[in-house]
Structures are given as structure tokens and as C-alpha cells.
Structure 1
Amino acid sequence: MSNIKVCLDAGHAGSQYNQSPVVKTYFESEMNWKLHLLLKAELEARGFEVITTRGEQNTDLPVYSRGTAAKGCDIFISLHSNACGTENVDYPVVYRSYDNQNNTDALALAIAKKVGEVMGTNQAGRTATRKNDAGGEYYGVLRGARAVGVPNYLLIEHSFHTNTNAAKWLSAEVNLKKLAIAEAELLAAHYGTQAKPEGKTEIMGTAVATAAQMALYCRTKNTAPQLTGCTLEELAQIFLDEGKAEGVRGDIAFAQTLKETGFLKYGGIVLPSQNNYAGIGALNQNSKGQAASFPSPRIGVRAQIQHLKAYASGDGLKNECVDPRFSLVSRASAPFVEWLGSADNPNGKGWAVPGKGYGASILNLLEKIIAQEIPMSPEETQQVLPTDDIPEWQKEGFLALVDAEVINSPEFWEVRFKQPVTVGELMGLLGKFVGK
């Protein structure tokens, strides 16, 4: 399962609601019902969890209740075909949130254009919004979905059944299957639910490296990182914290920072004081300092994490958006590190353009970060204790000798508690004790 939950709504109840005036055998409610079942199957085949607003075709629910049925879902989609007073109008339109909540217009427009392409409509697909007199969503299903906190909600009008070609096309179940496949594939690409290509590294997930490993590796390449407002160790921890908040691997983002800043030496367009750790807004023709600036290290890291999430996932942000270029990203177009360079991405999108080998270079740095061995502190070494059936007085004596530094290598002695001690070893220990 992808953990992405979809609620599908077949617009209108029954099998004979909204008859086409030009193709008398076409009924909008029948098309909607067939399409939503086909789309459900295609989405489930791609890893989505799918629920529907109604279990039976003839069940008639209030439109607002159909919207609220999507509570807990990531997206609500209501399926329809449109109507107007003229034969010539032939284009899909997708209604989305009136305030472009979660940048939903990008997904809505992609769906509208794809539907028009598959159907071969005379006019290109487009998006639209509609508000009621109170300033809320006009359509009850969308109003209901918004009321229960659904991040993305859409009403798809599959062109106009007042157009003969559109109504005939939508009457064929084989064509509805084409629509279902196209819409499911587009949603899978948006939410990053496609089957993971073999050997690819997902940007979304839990970090593997620790903050200590991240900082240590950076110091092996730069003993004096140029930072303002925090230490290197604090910066590494911020990457892990901000990454965890958005579900992005913070260690991948930190490895990207090492690449983008030359191990925090800078020297390019971005200045250390800008708290911009990945060159956000730094274009090739810009002069020094012409890039995004952030008020603190944490906000700078947050922007980078959000920008990575824009490429890696279609999910909404947990924190308020601070990435000034978030809306410019084609969402979920690069779910894998290897795809961050557009030249390496089958979608043709990416953080770096053309960026061939960009993702591989980040992974090379990440591998070296994870390979760092962190020395144990004296406090850690002193906590070594035999844990089997050794008498307490012997354990206490062992720790006393470690604390007195008579024993300097406790890991050597702990495994020998039940072994005989040679006269030489005993003389050595006693000699050190007398010396102390």
C-alpha cells in the first residue's frame, strides 16, 4: 500500500439521470458509475487505498454528505460530464479549490489536459473555480470535502454531453477504460506511487545517518565550515529534525548541501549569511548574492526540505511553506535521488538541469557519511559491564578500577571475568593500583 487514500464519487444516482440531448442513449449517471468503478480498480492496482461515496448505484445521498465521506482521505474526486446550450463546446474542465489550496491547480490542470488528450476534444482542458454567495465552494461535494479537511478535492467534468462526439465517445466502455488508466497513471505519478524502479533511492523516508556522522564527514573535507547562527553539529541535527517533520530523508538533504556548497566553503553565487544551503534561486546568470535568503539556519533548511518534497511527493506540507520556488516544481516528478538531475529522469524534470549524474554524486557523498565511525566517548566506554551471573561485588570492584584508571581497556577485561588471571597480569594490575 502507498498510504495514499482516495475517495471517488460517481456524480448523480441511478442509471438514467442527465440524458444527452444529442445522443439519447447517453446518461451522465451511468457513465459516472462505470468510470468510477474502472478508476477504482486502476488506482488500487497502483497501490492506492480507494473508498467510494456510495456502495450502490441507486443510493441517492445529499451532495454535502458525499463530500464529507472523504474524511481522512488525501484526495476527493467527483466524476461528471458537463452540459450547455450549444453543440460546439467540447472541452474537459476540472473544478478545484477556489483558493488553490495545496497548489491543487497544477494537478487539476494536468488531469484536464490529459482527459482532453485521451478523448480528443476540440478544445483543450482547463481548470475552474466557483464560489457561492457566502464565499465558500459552490459545489456541495467540494464544500463537504473541504469541511472535513481533505487536502485536495476535484470535480472532473469529462467534456460536455451536449456535444455529439463527446457523448458518443463516453458511451463506449472501452473508452472509459482508457480514461481510467490515464487518470490513474497521472495520479500515481503525482503521488509517487509507481512501482519503485530497481536500485533507486527514495527521497521520502527515514534518515539512516546520524547528525554526528554528517558533521564528522563534513569536517574531514573542511575544518572551518562557513556558518552563521549555528554550529555544524547543530545544523546537521536541524536537517534531521526538519526532514522528519516532512517525511524527507534529512541525511540525503545534508549530502546535497555538501555538494551544493562545496562542504560549506561556498565561493559561488550564494553567501553563507543567506542560510541557503542548496542554491535555491541561484541561477547561472545571477551575480553573487542573487539567490533566496532565509532569516535563520532552520528556515533555510526547511526551505530545502520542502523543495525536495515538492520533487519527491505530491503530499501537502506539514509546516507553512517557506520555499519561494515550491509552486514552480512539477510535483512528484523526481521521487528518487537518482532522478534529481533532469537528464537522468524519465520525466525530464529535476532539481539540476541538465544535471547528468547529479543524484549519483549526492548518493556518493551519502555513502561516505554513513561510513563514518564515531569514536566512543570516555563516558560510553566506562559503562561496559558484564551482565551475566557475575557477583555484584566483583562488578563494583571492576567499575572502581575503571574509574581509578587502573584498568584502561575495560572491553578487554569484561569478556575475561570467568577466566584465570596469570601472575603477571595480577602483578601488573596491583602495581598500577599501588602507583595510583
Structure 2
Amino acid sequence: MRKIKICLDAGHSGSKYNQSPVVKSYYESAMAWALHLKLEKKLEARGFEVFTTRPTIDAEVDVYARGKLAKGCDLFLSLHSNACGTESVDYPVVYRAYDNQNSANELALGFARMIGQRMGTKQAGRSATRKNSTGGEYYGVMRGARAAGVPLYLLVEHSFHTNTAAAKWLLEDRNLELLAEAEADTLAAYFKQTAAPVPEEERTTIMDAAQTTAQQMALYCRRRNAAPKLTSCSVEELAGMFLEEGAAEGVRGDIAWAQSLHETGFFKFGGIVQPGQNNFAGIGALNGNGKGQAASFPDPRTGVRAQIQHLKAYASTEPLAKACVDPRFSLVARGSAPYVEWLGAADNPGRTGWAVPGKGYGACVLDILAEVMAQEVPEPPAEEKDKPKYPAYQTEGLERLTEAGIIDSPEVWKARFGDTVTVGQMFGILGKLLARAESPAD
């Protein structure tokens, strides 16, 4: 089957173009750039051939020229957020060909409504057209795409960054990840594009030993999010739990970790599941649920154990090694997804999986896993060979006390330099010193 070609255009150059007047940390150009990178990966995972109009966020390319770069593509997609003078306006709008060329409104309207549902905007998404004074397309990128003969071209306004809720939502990396997933799924359904299945010998089995260390896992997480929203443990402690619980059930704990980073946006949360629920993989967080409407666990280890058990349910028919704490374990078709690539229902031969529809879900987890495995752990500075382990004044003090007869077992005390001295031992040493000072000089 011929690959569908899509040209992605991140609207506006530079990292600080079109600042939101109500959320000062939001810039339209930065959001569009981040979203188009995520969407590019997800479209490629679904079998599309993807082109982009600019190599870097700062590269300046004329708008008309950007549209013409889509020559030979099936779809040109320009990503933006809108602006107006009214705070209450909150809806996505997708601009399409003014003459509805190739029935563009079908895709434009469906795309806009999907974005509105995903973002939870106050008003429903809609499609629109806009002409210039000569009767052609108003937007330069759309004129360029039409001139290049692109059959479908859309300019997508992801609601209005003059609305506080919309701007805050678009600021969250995890939300952009979800948005890219939904947009890729929508395009895959429209074009009925299916990626070629990964050969069996190249698939990644879930039931296996972990191939990373807890230190690699934690360092990579902190590199992507310096302040993980964990309420009862550190990210280092949590990484250790994933490896321990995974080893107990024969599940790769590092795969479960990568899945958690994907599900929680590197422990930023912000979706249905809240940090205090100790639910690191969205167990029970179903489409349409409100905040907090998902499984909750009493502590981080129980949450990790439930996730490991849920993965084992999909990956194996073997019994659990520990008592079941996964509230949805019995709902899984046992052994239906032995490979990470099959965790998305749309990619699974049996059309079942952890994520529904989940096209490219496994590929996203594997992308994160590869980066975790590539994480370099800094080596501690090598100690100089002859450098004393303890300061000189400590050893000198021991020698003087030994010479004075206060200490009669110096080797024992030297071996305990790193230990804590008890109050009783300190009084004993001070008592000997006092007795020595009061005794007549020899």
C-alpha cells in the first residue's frame, strides 16, 4: 500500500512569538513547534511519510514558501493557536479550502471537534474558510499549498490562547502528547493508514529481565522533569520498586517504567489520574472519566505492583507470584499482548490491548525505553590511591591518646573511624583523660 504523505508546519518561527496576554509563559510558536515534533513521531509510527517545513524552531521560511514545500503530499497541516479580544472564547477552528476542494470540510470539521473534546473547550470545534481581497485563500501557507497542487490543506487553530484555561492546557507537555496521539489517530482513521507490522524477531517481549538500572531510570526521568509530582517517595525509590516488583513477576520493570513516563507525562500528571492516587499507568482511567476517576492505591509500591500485574496479565498466562492487587486483572484476555508493540489495541492482531484505540502506543513506550537505556550515568570521581580516607587530625589524635595511655586498643578504634561513638564511650574516654590530668607527673 502506498504511504500517505503529510507535510507538517509549525506555525511561526522563534520560541517566543505570540505570547498569551493571560498566561505569560505561553507562546504560540513554542507550543506549535513542540506539538508538531510529537505529531511527526506518532504519524510515522502509524505508517505515514512525514515532511516538515522548517529544520529548527528559529528557521525563518516565508509562509507561501512553506505551503509550496508540501508539493507531492496528500495533506498539508499548519499548527497554531488563535487569539481574540474576549477571554470567554474557547473553541478549536480548522480552516479548509474555501471551495471545499476534495470535500475538505469532512476532515476539517471532524478534526476540530476531536480537538475540542480532547481539550475540553467551552465551545465545540468548528471548521471555517477565509478569503483574501482577490477571492483566494487568505492565509499564505494555504495559498502556497494550493498552488503546489496539494489536495487537502488545513490550518488548525488549537482554541484561543487568549483564554486562560486553553493556554494553560496547551502549556502542559503531557497534554500535547495526548493531543498528538488523538490527531494521529484521527488522520489514520481518515486515510485508513496502517503501519507495516513489526517482524516477530524484532518485537520486544514484556516477560524478560530488565536491561537498565534504577539510576538510569531516575536520571532520565529527572532530565525530562526536574520536579516529579510524587507524594510518598522519591523518583529514585520508585525506580527501584519497578525493578523489584518486575523481577518478582518476571516482567521487565524498565518497560513498565517507560510506560509510566508515557502515561503520566514524566510524573507531571495533569489528566484524569492525580499524583496522590499512586496510579502510574492510568489503570481504570477510561475515556470520558473526570479527574480522580481511576484506580487508587494506598502507597507507591502497591501502585507499581498493580501495574506490573496488569502487564503480566496481557503478556503471559502464568499465575501471579504475589497476591493480586490489580483491580482490573480479571478483565484482561490473558496472554493477548506478549509484546510491547501489541499493547495498543489498534496494533494488536486480536484488537485488544492496554490502550484503546492506542495506535502507536507501544512504539511511544519503546521510544522512551530506548532513551532510558541510552542514559549515561556519571562516574564518581576516582579517589587518589594514597589519599587518606580520614583527615590527618583524627589519626594524629588517636596516636596521641594511645601514647598517653588513654586508648589501649588503637587498631580497634581505627577500624571504627566511620562509626558513631556512643555517649558511654565518650564519657569513658573523657574520664580517662581527667584521671590522667589529676595523676602526679612521672
TM range (shorter): 0.3 to 0.5
Q: Could you state the TM-score of these two structures normalised by the residue count of structure 2?
A: 0.44
- TM-score scaled by length of structure 1: 0.45
